[in-house]
Amino acid sequence: MCCCTIVAVADRAYASAGTPEAGGGWVGLTYDYTHMQFHLDPNGDKLDLGSMDINAVTTQIEYGITDRLAVFGSLPYIQRKYTGSYPHTVTLPDGTVYVSKIDDGSYHGSFQDLLVGTKYQTGIGQWMITPTLVYGHPTHDYDIFSHAAIGTKQKQTVVGLQTGRSLPEPFDRFYVELDYSYAFMEKFQGTTANHSNAYIEVDYFATERLMLHTYAIGQKTYDGIEPSDWAKDSSLYLHHEQIMRTDYIDAGIGAEYVLNGRYNLSSHVTHNIWGENVHQIKYDIGIGISRAF
């Protein structure tokens, strides 16, 4: 059996419900180290089938076309390795046994998927209301039949809505953001694994320069296959990373520090608290820097 978890909180291509002013924006660089110790089966039970380690460097950019309309993009470079005794293995209909070439205990890496999108900020009362549209496309034909796969190698279109506001006094040091998105995923073997994501973040402005935050992100997949399905059809197993049902809730804490008017430093730690058909994130540790322009 194998499960899949490719994305994490740090992979969000758009930083917040706000948009830069016209002609302005920011560029950022984030490094994440992720360790996944267990697989979680369809019932959420732990299976010790080996561990996964990921190094990810993600470049992001956002630009304000007007004071309300912005475009953005992100491109991650991923290195991933599998350590264990259960490499991906499948017996094809002609009797050929195929074993993943990259589940060999070494890191394998390349650029993953390019994400580009746009968002428009409006508002209702004190709430920012920001519809978003994102398109993702693999950068090249990378291997997906592997614990060490760097992604799912599939096109996706994501529609979403970001909302956020500062709280009234005496809680005016707090900012709350609530986001929802729905991903239309590329179809394989006649199946799609379209899914919803919900995100909540609470920020606390400790000083004029230091912001602390906590967050949670959850995913619900619709129609994806289960391990029992590929037991009947090995062709489904070859594409299980792309079409499996994967449900999870991750949570984390972080901080952001303003160095000056242009540069920000950020950090976060994320942990999986529940999941089904996923690799369990024991910890994801990230640091980043961004520059406004």
Please choose, from the candidates 72, 15, 28, the residue with its C-alpha nearest in 3D space to the C-alpha of residue 292: 28
**Is 3 a member of any domain?**
no
- Residue 83 located in a structural domain: yes
Residue 1 lies in a domain: no
Range of the domain at 209: 9-292
pLDDT in tens, the chain (293 residues): 555 544 443 345 556 899 999 999 999 999 999 999 999 999 999 999 999 999 999 999 999 999 999 999 999 999 999 999 999 999 887 888 989 999 999 999 999 999 999 999 999 999 999 999 999 999 999 999 999 999 999 999 999 999 999 999 999 999 999 999 999 999 999 999 999 999 999 999 999 999 999 999 999 999 999 999 988 888 899 999 999 999 999 999 999 999 988 999 999 999 999 999 999 999 999 999 999 99
121 vs 292: CA distance, rounded Å: 19
- In three state form, how does the secondary structure of 108-144 look? EEEECEEEEEEEECEEECCEEEEEEEEEEEECCCCCC
- Check which CATH number belongs to the domain holding 85 and give it: 2.40.128.130
Q: Is residue 43 part of a domain?
A: yes
Residue 68 contacts residue 120 (beta carbons within 8 Å): yes
* Sign of the CA dihedral with 219 first, then 225, 231, and 236 last: negative
The gap from C-alpha 91 to its chain's centroid, in whole angstroms, comes to 31
Identify which of 224, 234, 291 has the alpha carbon closest to the alpha carbon of residue 30: 291
Kindly write down the DSSP assignment for every residue of 35-47, as one continuous string.
Answer: EEEEEE-TTS-EE
Structural domain includes residue 4: no
Question: What is the count of structural domains for the chain?
Answer: 1
**Whole-model pTM over 0.85:** yes
From the list 16, 51, 57, 42, the residue with the least C-alpha distance to 226 is 42
